[in-house]
Homo-oligomer: A and B are copies of this chain.
């Protein structure tokens, strides 16, 4: 309970918040029931105050999400700081990427706000710096370093957002399993004409029951292989 109550003369209550409590409770709402559950009204109720008071701390819902994102990235940053740098810069890039991926996979909304406004997202900027540092040990131009880190960032955020998309309600209910859900898609694909859709038929078995993490690791490794080649390492 990061919130306190002031008691005025008449016995009337007046809520008292803080940036910290606003962001913490916002993240709780997001974790409990997804992005659609984060409304100013729900947040105000959780904080035990009125809707309008939230506007003392943030100017808009976008800024609330920017700041909430930076708040949880703070935790990711701690995980990343605990990673021991190794001999191979590429391995360090991979380790940091995985930590970020894990965080966004669980909270896909992060992907839409990560690094969107570094003026209020100090932790995101610190993470960007952390991700970039290993490239300083690679034989690349400044431009290549910039592009390499942008590419990794895109793969991490893009994969996590894509793979973390909430499946339809029936899957969340547990009425239909994830595998069953995937199979329903592929069943349609299998009925397609083999001559017109040779590629879809080639990969349909791979798609069926595929593992999200494998897909991300493969994408990341392709980019890292490209970077390694470029650096001649």
Q: A222-B227, A223-B222, A226-B225 are in contact. Are A200 and B128 (CB under 8 A)?
A: yes
Q: Which residues of B contact A158 (CB under 8 A)?
A: 154-155, 157-159, 161
> Is the beta-carbon distance between B230 and A226 smaller than 8 angstroms?
no
Q: Which residues of chain B are within 8 angstroms of A198 by Cβ–Cβ distance?
A: 129, 133, 136
Assess whether B230 is in contact with A132, with CB atoms less than 8 Å apart. Answer: no
Are A146 and B225 also in contact (CB < 8 A) when A154-B219, A158-B155, A188-B118 are?
Answer: no
Contact indicator per residue, chain A 174-192, by CB within 8 Å of chain B (1) or not (0): 0000000000010011000
A56 close to B (CB within 8 Å): no
Cβ–Cβ contact B151 & A154, under 8 A = no
A87 to chain B, nearest CB (A): 19
Q: Tell me whether A149 and B203 are in contact in the complex, defined as CB-CB below 8 angstroms, given that A157-B158, A198-B133 are known contacts.
A: yes
Residue A147 lies at the interface, judged by CB distance under 8 Å to chain B: yes
A218 at the interface (CB under 8 A from B): yes
9 A-B pairs within 8 Å (CB atoms) are namely A119-B185, A132-B200, A145-B203, A147-B222, A151-B155, A154-B158, A222-B223, A223-B226, A225-B226
